[in-house]
Amino acid sequence: MIKAVVGANWGDEGKGKITDMLAQEADIIVRFQGGANAGHTIVNDYGKFALHTLPSGVFYNHTTSVIGNGVALNIPVFFKEYNEVVEQGVPAPKILISDRAQMVMPYHILFDQYEEERLAGKSFGSTKSGIAPFYSDKYAKIGFQVSELFDEEALKEKLVRVCETKNILLEHLYHKPLLDPEEIFQELMEYKKMVAPYVCDVSLYLWNALKEGKEILLEGQLGSLKDPDHGIYPMVTSSSTLAAYGAIGAGVPPYEIKKIITVCKAYSSAVGAGAFVSEIFGEEADELRRRGGDGGEYGATTGRPRRMGWFDCVASKYGCRVQGTTDVAFTVLDVLGYLDEIPVCVGYEINGEVTTEFPTTAMLEKAKPVLEVLPGWKSDIRGITKYEDLPENCRKYIEFVEEKIGFPITMISNGPGRNDIIYRNK
């Protein structure tokens, strides 16, 4: 059986922690999309880790961590992270890499930087990890699969062809140094040495694992609102962030994905540009940012301060719906314990009308939040393990949100650690 852990919002909902927690009972953890552009922060017995490309299952001996074909695989970054985890005392994780995963090429990162420079103030707020150029090339059919490393002659030829077109852009659009296919080939031969022991037909491996009754966890990156189709286009990421894409990005049957655990944070945060209706500013935002997450709301990859806002029922209802949510994990609730009153965005006012349905981007830009204010619980809820033991106003907040989004909140996370979780039977 397959479970997916995905985000309802803009990312940074705490998926890493939920995956790490659910991985205790899983056999295989699979990354199926995205690349090194976003990160998960995980706190466990080994310490605190910021993972960008490694699946969150790497901390267990009993799990196999898999890079699916849908991932933008940055090989040197992947192995740097792998080595760092091992150096910090984690037993060498068992990993597998899809032979169909495509590689982030050194020039993807350069093109990402050059394009951001060219767009200057109008940029998309890219993390400059090469993700957009990578997926552009994948769909333009000039990307490189890991399997291509193993046919050196064909690889050389294709590199010459691809560099020709890249060099036209470098010379005439960006005015930057040109690419040398031979140099890239040598670098790819280094990549080959690194990945060779781990490459396999991941889709077949997972098919066989399912037949043996193994439990597979699909680990999503970012959230619904960053999906290129259903998100706030064009301020989105370049690969689908939805659980449904897990079937494609891992190569598994869609009907095997039985549980879709959508992670929703108890307040909002976003990185990069784009409409953010329930955003707050000034001292109110600074305080939430400082207290947020585990040590503040700053990007795991870039260290950038995140934009902050109140919980957005409109965006979250939509975010849960497009994921096909079976369970909501409501996270970072403990952080709100300092507030006397907690505003919640319950509707969007657009051109004088209030809606609770999430609109397309142009309309979203016009939306003003309709807020409802709930009483705070003014206490520290960390350490509580039973739903009934939560303060009444805290339960009311959860139940209010649950009613507005229309999906069952079955897990409540009240701290960054593996065991800071309250299960609720629905």
Residue 137 and residue 268: Cα distance in Å, rounded? 33
Does 410 interact with ligand GDP (rule: CB under 6 A)? no
Does 12 interact with ligand GDP (rule: CB under 6 A)? yes
Decide: 202 and 193 in contact? Cβ < 8 Å: no
Nearest to 64 by CA among 25, 96, 17: 96
- Binding range to ligand GDP, per CB under 6 A, among 32-40, 66-74, 206-214, 278-286: 32-40
Taking CA atoms, 374 is separated from 233, 377, 401, in Å, by: 32, 10, 11
Does 99 interact with ligand GDP (rule: CB under 6 A)? no
Does 402 interact with ligand GDP (rule: CB under 6 A)? no
Q: How far is the CB of 49 from ligand GDP (least distance, A)?
A: 10
- CA angle, 417 then 418 then 424, to 5°: 110
Task: Supply 378's token pair.
Answer: 């003014």
Greatest alpha-carbon span in the chain: 68
Does 416 interact with ligand GDP (rule: CB under 6 A)? yes
Buried b (16+ CB within 10 A) or exposed e, 355-385: eeebbeeeebeebebbeeebebbeeebeebe
Decide: 228 and 237 in contact? Cβ < 8 Å: yes
Phi, psi of 348 (to 5 degrees): -115, 135
Does 243 interact with ligand GDP (rule: CB under 6 A)? no
Cis omega (within 30 of 0) on the bond before 234? yes
Binding mask 334-363 for ligand GDP (x = CB under 6 A): xx----------------------------
Does 5 interact with ligand GDP (rule: CB under 6 A)? no
Does 272 interact with ligand GDP (rule: CB under 6 A)? no
Does 17 interact with ligand GDP (rule: CB under 6 A)? yes
Q: How many residues bind ligand GDP (CB under 6 A)?
A: 25
- Binding range to ligand GDP, per CB under 6 A, among 10-18, 101-109, 169-177, 233-241: 10-18
Of residues 299-338, those binding ligand GDP (CB under 6 A): 300, 331-332, 334-335
Does 184 interact with ligand GDP (rule: CB under 6 A)? no
User: Is the CB of 137 or the CB of 334 nearer to ligand GDP?
Assistant: 334
Does 53 interact with ligand GDP (rule: CB under 6 A)? no
Q: How far is the CB of 306 from ligand GDP (least distance, A)?
A: 9
- CA angle, 88 then 90 then 95, to 5°: 120
Q: Which residues are marked as active site?
A: 12, 40
Phi, psi of 57 (to 5 degrees): -90, 0
Decide: 138 and 100 in contact? Cβ < 8 Å: no
Does 415 interact with ligand GDP (rule: CB under 6 A)? yes
Does 289 interact with ligand GDP (rule: CB under 6 A)? no
Does 129 interact with ligand GDP (rule: CB under 6 A)? no
Q: How far is the CB of 413 from ligand GDP (least distance, A)?
A: 3
**Residues at the contact surface with ligand GDP, assessed by CB under 6 A:** 7, 11-17, 38-41, 43, 293-294, 300, 331-332, 334-335, 413-416, 420
